[in-house]
Amino acid sequence: MYIALHNSFSSKQVEEFAKVVFGMGLNTIVFTKASSSAAQNGIPIVQKMAIKNNKNLVYLEDINDAIEILNPEKVIMITNSNIGKEKLNFEEIGEKDLIVFCGSNSGFSLKEIESANAEPKHLLGVNIGPIGEASILLYNTLKDQ
């Protein structure tokens, strides 16, 4: 499973997201469309973290670049329950799936979801942000491993 954070502006969010993903045992993290302090400070901090811990960082311009390079079986975008009407079933996540979280409060645009040919899904009825949502997803998918 590949975990991605898309459209983040915050270096702290990027750093904390990486701590969760790497801390839960995944070896690769993907960042797309990072801007502002996320791109200037956050990505270099995560790069250093990845190198020190023998992990992989993939930093790309857009989600479609990640799809082209990783060639996932499914792309699942974690959205709020207004857009992703269907709740994510943790048991349906495969090893080659790309799970994308949004770093901005506005969430994914419908154009981004359609362009990625993604399945919009939600985890909770309320939006708690990508760090909390990634924690829930990874705990539920990796707890039996």
Q: What is the pLDDT of residue 144?
A: 64
Q: What is the pLDDT of residues 115-138, one digit of tens each?
A: 998 999 999 888 899 999 999 999
81-93 mean pLDDT:
88
Angle at 84 between CA 138 and CA 31, to 5 degrees: 50
| Strand ranges of the sheet holding 2-6, from the earlier edge strand across to the other edge | 56-60, 28-32, 2-6, 98-102, 75-78, 119-122, 86-87
Q: Which residue's entry shows tokens 């399945």?
A: 119
- How far is residue 145's CA from residue 142's CA, in Å, rounded to a whole number? 5
- How far is residue 71's CA from residue 52's CA, in Å, rounded to a whole number? 27
Taken in order of first residue, the domains within the chain and their CATH numbers are 2-143 (3.40.1280.10)
Which one, of 94, 109, 102, lies nearest residue 78 by Cα?
102
pLDDT band at 43 (very low <50, low <70, confident <90, very high): very high
Task: Show Cβ contacts of residue 64 under 8 Å, excluding neighbours closer than 6 positions.
Answer: 115, 116
- How far is residue 133's CA from residue 4's CA, in Å, rounded to a whole number? 12
With a pLDDT cut of 90, the percent of the chain lying above it is 81
Q: What is the pLDDT of residues 26-36, one digit of tens each?
A: 999 999 999 99
With a pLDDT cut of 70, the percent of the chain lying above it is 99
Here the tokens at position 78 are 């974690």
Point out which residues pair with 6 in neighbouring strands: 32, 102
Q: What is the pLDDT of residue 107?
A: 86
